[in-house]
Amino acid sequence: MTEKAWASEKDFEVHTLPGRLHERLLDWQRRNFADEYDYLQKHWGDHYRQDPFRLVAKLGPLRSGAIEVGKFKGLPRFARAAELDDEMVLQVAKIIKAQCSTELGSIQQHRESLYKAQDPRMQFNVMRIMAEEFRHAYQMLFVLAQDDWTRVGHDLAQETVESLLGMRTGDHVLDAFNLFFDSFVDNVTFAAIIDRVGKYQLEMQLTFSYAPMARSMGPMLYEEAFHMASGVNPMRQWAAEAARGEGNVSTAMLQRHINKWTARGLEMFGDERGGKSVVDFGFKDMANREASDRYARELKEELVDTLNFEVLRVFDPSVGREEAPAIADRVLETGDAWKGCGPDRLFLRPDPRFFRRRGEHAFEMRDVRGRPVASLEDYLSSLRKALPDAYITGPDFKVYVDNLKKKLEGHEVSEAGLPFYG
């Protein structure tokens, strides 16, 4: 999590969008999750001690008044859009549009399988995630609406609203938000894996040289921690139950969903070879490769190692948290069981080159451990074993396979779909 100074609600200013934009967002909410939103408001106090959810924009304090990275380092942060050059204005708009799209897109995805939850608390937590993602989109639009962007010749806030509010699953900016959810396992693994990318993006943007964007990050980070926990904690529960031979979510099912979402999460950072311009502008403090590499390590250490610790404790309650990763890695590498726990009981983080469609490793034929696969037939067979059954019969997998075949035939495959930072 980020520094404590950015995790205190008492430091946040509260704002609302201008009337017409506010009503446009409420109209979207009524069309996309009316019943869930009303239920959340009515029963919030049954589940949480925090103040009830409010649809407002929140701005936190700046970490410092000076720009922290890039060619403007040391200068005061830009307070108004008029202080940015045209290229920076367009980059800010692109980043905000991508972020709004992810927030609204995730709500549409979560709703697809929300009612397949068998645990009412897990289900209510996802409703809270949906509401808070909606607030995040609202807040990003406030950043646009509170400034004058007419120097680019049009109303950026209104243009962004118009382009976003008609999007459905399949139309959104980033691939991760165009995948349909097939079961509540998707809701949970998405929160653990994709919301973790959101945490990284928000942390990187605490440095944002445009002050209103930097001030927006802390309040969203405050809520993002809950989103990740709403994914990791059910996964921990399911992993332990599966190790005991209980529950409805098997080890294999959970692993396949981890495989499904990890590649899409990595691609949200953009092409590993890019991202230098936004560091130069002071919009974030890491280029794409460094950020995605750190994210991949965190998935291993904070998610996969945590799941394996829960599994190993089933076989030996005395196992320590610090020793568990080495034990699990050894079992996965050698195939030798540890106190009755074999590799089929444990989890692994897919190799970062697995199942990629964008970036440096796009359409490389590698299995989940990163080993090259020689033939298309063998590669597709390995994917069908590594990914959820419902997913491989769906439209996204078909598009991937069609593009892979085009690539192998020497055709260009479009990488349409903007990453967060180009």
Dump pLDDT digits (tens) for 218-254: 999 999 999 999 999 999 999 999 999 999 999 999 9
The pLDDT value recorded for residue 416 is 47
- SS in 3 state form for 200-230? HHHHHHHHCCEHHHHHHHHHHHHHHHHHHHH
The pLDDT value recorded for residue 364 is 97
Average pLDDT (402-418) is 79
Q: 378-385: long-range contacts at Cβ-Cβ below 8 A with a sequence spacing of 24 or more?
A: 383/355
Average pLDDT (287-298) is 97
DSSP string, 301-331: IIIIHHHHHHHHHHH-TT--TTTHHHHHHHH
d(CA 287, CA 277): 8
Encode pLDDT of 95-108 as tens digits: 988 888 889 999 99
Residue 84 has pLDDT above 50, yes or no: yes
The pLDDT value recorded for residue 1 is 33
The Cα-based distances of 265 to 252, 268, 357 in angstroms read 20, 5, 12
**Nearest Cα to Cα of residue 284 among 98, 20, 32:** 98
- Give the pLDDT band of residue 362 (cuts 50, 70, 90): very high
The pLDDT value recorded for residue 238 is 98
The pLDDT value recorded for residue 415 is 56
Encode pLDDT of 374-404 as tens digits: 999 999 999 999 999 999 999 999 999 999 9
Going from N- to C-terminal start, the domains of the chain cover: 4-305, 363-413
The CATH architecture assigned to 4-305 reads Orthogonal Bundle (1.10)
Residue 41 has pLDDT above 80, yes or no: yes
The Cα-based distances of 387 to 4, 79, 168, 263 in angstroms read 38, 46, 24, 12
In sequence order, which residues have a C-beta less than 8 Å from that of residue 134 and are 6 or more positions away?
Answer: 25, 29, 33, 37, 55, 103, 104, 107
| DSSP state at residue 9 | G
Which of 181-185, 301-305, 417-421 is least confident?
A: 417-421
Q: With the CA atoms of 268, 274, 275 and 277 taken in that order, what torsion angle do they form, in degrees rounded to the nearest 10? A: -150
